[in-house]
Structure 1
């Protein structure tokens, strides 16, 4: 959890956002807290060079506030309609303290990215043409589809839909995966995108159209102007080591809690199954079945709850790795 965020006050601010009889000062505090998060995102994106297109005369906070303005508008009754709708969709009252902070961060990051990309797109005809071409290519395929969600268009695997309960794959991470794939045209990299979305489990199997267009354009530029590989063997080894270390630490930390409730050996096997999910893209039930004979058949009833809890704890530990890699800001 972010050390500067008090979950008690955040819960009160959420309550005020959905209940018009709540304290207006709490709604103001929520907007200021969101602005802080948005400002941090803008600053980090600029430092990484990803948002170099932003006018340097614009202050980070001004950019964040401008991007968030529509998201926190109130109706005639004083209700913050958009964030209230989001909170109700994720059933926020059931979330624990850590999940509350994550929920706000996801909402803020999506809205800031939407706003910034909208500003960028308005002054970038080339990007607009690429988006139109990308939409046409998606419509001609059967394994992906275009879906409108939260007032923006997404490319997602057929049968999957964007949701509030998950984060989209970050543009930087998608670009890192695309640039090492074979392909020198946008349609070829769309094919690669489908494989990336299918073979990862850390994020939603969906990506906003604008984000995908930016990732494909950046990947094509790097392919035409060769640079060092986006993912070096050393980086891959570092990632694998981080996954093994995190899964092992989580399983060991749960031994006492689950003593007498399930075989201790299962915790170790769950840890190895989590490694298969995170490193090789296994489905959850397949990964557990690979480690515990016969588990695939009764995965939902006997294994799912504990295994997915271990996965959530592991992903939380891996957030630090992603922050340093600047590839998963949405999971901070």
Structure 2
């Protein structure tokens, strides 16, 4: 039985066909994941300990629960449309659906594994969805950033080459709009390659490139003195400063009824992330809103600016000042006088 007939029978409720369809989806998912794994990205190695489990995790919601089985697939490709399509066309549309689900699954796993990377991915998607770079778009079916097509199909630029090209342009990148614009410039210049790049892969390259640059900057500034202080100690400084300031801030905001305690605790997490980004520098510098949005994804930038920004900035300023006082008293942290 070909995939078109299998799909039709599965949508009609035949359990044997549903099992065959699930196995077909799993095999394509595994193959797609392996093409990504073969790029030897260290960040992916954590997720690929069991590639079959990861593949099933990515496509699981397509098959739903009993009574809701295949509803997503049917919504994407119904009986009427299937009948009009050729076998090859059905196979192509299903592959697009599977690729989309794999990319969503990877993003979900990335978010759990590396919150900084997930912020970059989310901000790239928003930049593309809002059309902030002319000619750039995000294809949710393939997970690619796409620009205007070149004359004929070409091979994708190897990630190693893109990373080298992007590294030389980091000084011109201060946000995701700049990043997409630089990507566009690189692909225009390199005419022998395709005009599209995986969004997740591009985000990983950005993350790695900025982390490496910041690491080099720190080494240049501090030499070997920074080796006396480990990340854990810096995290402890930040944690202790937040705990100290928390008492007064609680009285100011929660006891007075200005905000509820649940939101107050989230605000402190936002401030912690801001300070970690500023002082430990494991990720590209981001505005306060990017950190706020991670804990309050339902709140727009306009609402944040009007209702929340002053509180976050006030809390961050007070805790930052206390942290600076602590660091000034610590040997080898005189560099923070300049902040």
TM-score (ref. length: structure 2): 0.45
The structure having more radius of gyration, on CA atoms, is 2
> Quick check: which one's helix share is greater?
2
**Larger RCO of the pair (alpha carbons < 8 Å, separation 6+):** 1
